Amino acid sequence: MSINANIQNASKKISSEVNLFNPSCLITLYEFDLRDYALSRDDYSLSQLNFLSAGIPSPYAGLSVSIDQPYGILRFHNLTINLENVAPNLSNYKLFNQIIWQGKRYIPFPIYTEGFEIKSRGTLPKPKISFSNQIQNEEYENYFKQIKNAIKSLDDIIGVKITRKRTFLKYLDAINFKSNGGIINDDNFQIDPDPYAELPSDIYYIDRKLRENRYILEYELSSILDLENIKLPLRTMYSDNCSFEYRGEGCEYSTSSNIYGTRKNGGAPIADSIGNLISTTLGVALSAGVPEEWNPTGNNTYAKGKWIFVDIKGIKYYFVSKGDVAGNPVNATAYPPFNKNYWIPDQCSKTIKGCRLRFIGNQNTIQGLPFGGFPATSKYT
C-alpha cells in the first residue's frame, strides 16, 4: 500500500474514533526541537541533548539507537502508566515508563499545558507550557537536572519549536502493548498500531518566560505568524540570490525525482559557500559510491575526498574530509564534521553560478535551473 493510501486510511480511522461515544484514550505527546537553536551556538553540541547520554536506557531490547535521533529533539509525555504486573521480564520496569510512537520514544516529564484551543474571535491562541520541579520518578532525577541545565545554557530556550502530537492509545506502536511484550496492558481493548493515525500537530514556538521559581518554570508559546519581527509575505524577491534551502524544498538537489532534467552531479558534494569546487581545493577527486551517515558514537575513519552526511530535519548536509591527521585518516568521532579544520562543508553560494555547478555544470545558461531568485527583477538584466 502506498504512503498516500496509508494516510487516507489513517485519516478515516481518526475521524471514526473521534466520533465514537467511548473512544480510546487520547494520548498527548510533546516534541522539543532545539536543533536550529543549538546549531547557532559554536559552544554547544547537540549530542548533549539526547536520552542515551543522560543514562536513560532504551525500554525494549531490539530497538536501535535511532529512536533518539536526530540529536537535538527531546520527546516527552506526561502520562502515568499502570505498570502493575506488567513487563515482568524487565529488570527495572519502573524506569521504563516510556511510550514508543512512530519509532521514537517519549519519556515521562512533568509538563502541564493550557490554551491550545482555537477561539472563534479570530485571534491566534497563546498556549502556556510549564515544567514542574517535582520528580515523578526518582530514576529520572539526574536527567531532569541535565535538561534544566541545558535550558539555562541555551538562554531559556526562547524561540525553540514545540510540537504537540496527539493520537489514540490503540494506534501506538505495537511494542508498547503487553501482548507484544510491552508495558501497557491491552487485555480490555483491541489494539490497531498505525503510525499515520494521528490528529493534526500543533506547532508553536516559545515566545517568552512567564515565571520561574523553585517549583515551576512557565513559558508562553506563539504561532510562527505571531512572533516578533515576522513580516508577510515571508518570501522576498532577490534578483541575484536564491531563497531556497539548499537540498531542501524548492531546490531539491540530490532528490531521486527528475524534475529539472538530467542532473549533472546527482546530489554529490560540489562546492563551498563561495563557489569554489571542493575537488579543486583538495586537489583530488571526491570518493564515489554511497555516502555514509555520520555516526557520533562510531569509530570510522575517512581519507581525503571521502564524504559523509548529517541528516537534520530530513535535509542531508554533506561534508568532505580534508585528509590525514598526523598520518592517519580523519576520525569522525574525534573530529566531527562540523569542525572546519578537518572537513569542508558542501554549501551553495545561493547564486546562479552555484546552481549551474550542481544542475548543468559550468554552462553559461540559466534555462531549466530551479533557481530560487528572480533574475528578471535586476535593473541590469
Tens digits of residue pLDDT in 182-207: 778 788 888 999 989 999 999 998 88
Residue 166 reports pLDDT greater than 90: yes
Residue 88 reports pLDDT greater than 50: no
- Cβ-count burial of 247 within 10 angstroms (0-12 exposed, 13-18 middle, 19+ buried)? buried
Return the C-alpha cell found at 160.
Answer: 525553540
**Residue 286 vs residue 134, higher pLDDT:** 286
pLDDT value for 168: 92
Tens digits of residue pLDDT in 89-138: 444 555 567 888 988 888 888 888 888 877 666 677 889 998 876 655 56
Cα–Cα distance for residue pair 221/202, rounded to 1 Å: 11
**Residue 267 vs residue 210, higher pLDDT:** 210
Cα–Cα distance for residue pair 53/128, rounded to 1 Å: 29
Cα–Cα distance for residue pair 101/172, rounded to 1 Å: 6
pTM of the predicted structure, to 2 decimals = 0.57
Residue 366 reports pLDDT greater than 60: no
Residue 1 reports pLDDT greater than 90: no
84 falls in which pLDDT band (50, 70, 90)? very low
Query: Which region, left, alpha or beta, applies to residue 265 given φ > 0 means left and ψ of -120 to 50 means alpha?
Result: alpha
DSSP structure class, residue 275 = S
**Residue 220 vs residue 315, higher pLDDT:** 220
Average pLDDT over residues 347-366: 77
Residue 141 reports pLDDT greater than 80: no
Tens digits of residue pLDDT in 227-261: 655 555 556 777 788 888 888 777 877 654 444 44
Tens digits of residue pLDDT in 287-308: 766 778 888 777 778 888 888 8
| All residues at 6 or more sequence positions from 122 whose CB lies less than 8 Å from its CB, including other chains | none
Q: What is the DSSP string of 48-107?
A: GSSTTTTT---SSTT--GGGG-STTEEEEE------TT--TTSTTGGGG--EEETTEEEE
| All residues at 6 or more sequence positions from 252 whose CB lies less than 8 Å from its CB, including other chains | 259, 260, 370
Instruction: Cite the beta strand spans of 123-198 per DSSP E.
Output: 128-132, 161-168
